[in-house]
């Protein structure tokens, strides 16, 4: 379980996250939804340690990540895999080098071992013989797969996805969703996905956290979400074209 407790984040004096409290359930697919600009990416970046909150704490299965010493922080970082909004591969590195990157950072494995594991990870997301290509030579859907292969190469306990299927056609978007479900179940990860795609929420979410103007506005399971009377949540769901 990941717990976010009383998290505040400011940029240039503007409050972007306001006293967020939320829990992300162990071994489940937790989805963070909310309008563009509501604070989903900032929350995710606070959770994985890319941003430091002005106040508050993040706990990973009871371990205080925010106030952890260097050793514990590194340990928790190693247990995290992340797919950034837009994929965020290193353009100047090949596919193989991209996927091997976390292994270089966090393990003592030699090149052959790293290469072997990275190729296995690429095969897991159904990519074959693309090791020597550069990201620019791949389609958007393939780039997402490479980003997923990189995120799972370390066998993470916690997997974060920021808008994993944005910019993809509806069919490829569903293929990526299904791949994420398969991997999350296979690796038994605690999974956190930012999205504004209500279709993904309907098909994947086990727990939903709704962010509205930088505040945790609602949280609960998907069935409760679909029955909720929370006005802003209802507006969000209806605006996505979903009719209950
Ligand atoms: N590095 C930054 N510096 C200053 N302001 C920022 C920074 N990152 C985000 N913000 C602001 O924080 C707010 C929340 O942004 P965030 O990217 O978290 O939204 P989001 O919910 O992920 O939106 P989207 O669905 O479009 O990805 C926005 O007002 C944004 O302008
Ligand atoms: Mg975002």
36 domain-assigned: yes
Range of the domain at 19: 1-79+159-168+191-244
Task: Please report the pLDDT score of residue 24 as a whole number.
Answer: 98
Residue 244 has pLDDT above 70, yes or no: no
pLDDT tens digits for range 134-151: 999 999 889 999 999 999
Q: Are 98 and 105 in contact (CB under 8 A)?
A: no
Task: Please report the pLDDT score of residue 97 as a whole number.
Answer: 97
User: Which residue CA neighbors atom 17 of ligand 1 most closely?
Assistant: 41
pLDDT band for 243, please (50, 70, 90 cuts): low
Is there an atom of ligand 1 within 6 Å of 36 CB?
Answer: yes
102 domain-assigned: no
Count of CB atoms situated within 10 Å of the CB of 110: 9
E strand intervals along 61-198:
63-64, 80-83, 158-162, 190-195
65 domain-assigned: yes
What is the rounded average pLDDT of the residues 232-242?
86
User: Which residue CA neighbors atom 31 of ligand 1 most closely?
Assistant: 37
User: Which residue CA neighbors atom 7 of ligand 1 most closely?
Assistant: 11
Higher pLDDT, 184 or 241: 184
Note the ligand closest to the C-alpha atom of 45. Answer: 1
Note the ligand closest to the C-alpha atom of 36. Answer: 1
In the sheet where 190-195 sits, what is the strand order? 80-83, 158-162, 190-195, 29-33, 207-212, 215-220
For the entire predicted model, the pTM comes to 0.94
Is there an atom of ligand 1 within 6 Å of 37 CB?
Answer: yes
Residue with structure tokens 């514990």?
72
Residue 211 has pLDDT above 90, yes or no: yes
Q: What is the three-class DSSP state of 196?
A: coil
Residue 28 has pLDDT above 90, yes or no: yes
44 domain-assigned: yes
pLDDT tens digits for range 63-86: 999 999 999 999 999 999 999 887
CATH of the domain at 10: 3.40.50.300
What is the rounded average pLDDT of the residues 102-131?
95
Is there an atom of ligand 1 within 6 Å of 124 CB?
Answer: no
Task: Please report the pLDDT score of residue 112 as a whole number.
Answer: 97
What is the rounded average pLDDT of the residues 223-235?
92
216 domain-assigned: yes
Higher pLDDT, 85 or 133: 133
46 domain-assigned: yes
Is there an atom of ligand 1 within 6 Å of 38 CB?
Answer: yes
Task: Look at the chain and report how many structural domains it folds into.
Answer: 1
18 domain-assigned: yes
pLDDT band for 126, please (50, 70, 90 cuts): very high
Q: Are 46 and 7 in contact (CB under 8 A)?
A: yes
What is the rounded average pLDDT of the residues 88-109?
94
Task: Please report the pLDDT score of residue 167 as a whole number.
Answer: 85
Residue with structure tokens 């609602």?
218
Residue 91 has pLDDT above 90, yes or no: yes
pLDDT tens digits for range 166-178: 888 888 889 899 9
The per-residue pLDDT of the chain, averaged, comes to 94
7 domain-assigned: yes
């Amino acid at each position: 379980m990941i717990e976010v407790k009383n998290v505040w984040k400011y940029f240039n004096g503007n409050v972007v996250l306001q006293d967020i409290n939320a829990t992300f359930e162990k071994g489940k697919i937790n989805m963070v939804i909310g309008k563009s600009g509501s604070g989903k990416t900032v929350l995710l970046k606070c959770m994985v340690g890319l941003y430091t909150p002005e106040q508050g704490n993040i706990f990973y299965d009871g371990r205080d990540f925010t106030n952890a010493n260097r050793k514990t922080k590194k340990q928790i970082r190693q247990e995290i895999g992340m797919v950034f909004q837009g994929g965020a591969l290193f353009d100047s590195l090949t596919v193989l080098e991209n996927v091997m990157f976390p292994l270089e950072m966090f393990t003592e494995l030699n090149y052959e071992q790293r290469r072997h594991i990275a190729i296995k990870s690429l095969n897991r997301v159904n990519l074959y013989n693309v090791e020597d290509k550069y990201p620019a030579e791949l389609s958007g859907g393939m780039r997402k797969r490479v980003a997923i292969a990189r995120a799972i190469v370390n066998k993470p306990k916690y997997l974060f996805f920021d808008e994993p299927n944005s910019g993809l056609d509806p069919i490829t978007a569903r293929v990526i969703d299904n791949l994420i479900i398969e991997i999350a179940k296979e690796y038994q990860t605690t999974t956190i996905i930012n999205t504004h795609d209500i279709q993904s929420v309907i098909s994947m979410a086990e727990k939903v956290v709704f962010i509205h103007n930088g505040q945790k506005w609602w949280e609960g399971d998907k069935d409760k979400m679909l029955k909720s009377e929370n006005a802003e949540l209802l507006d969000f769901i209806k605006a996505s074209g979903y009719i209950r």
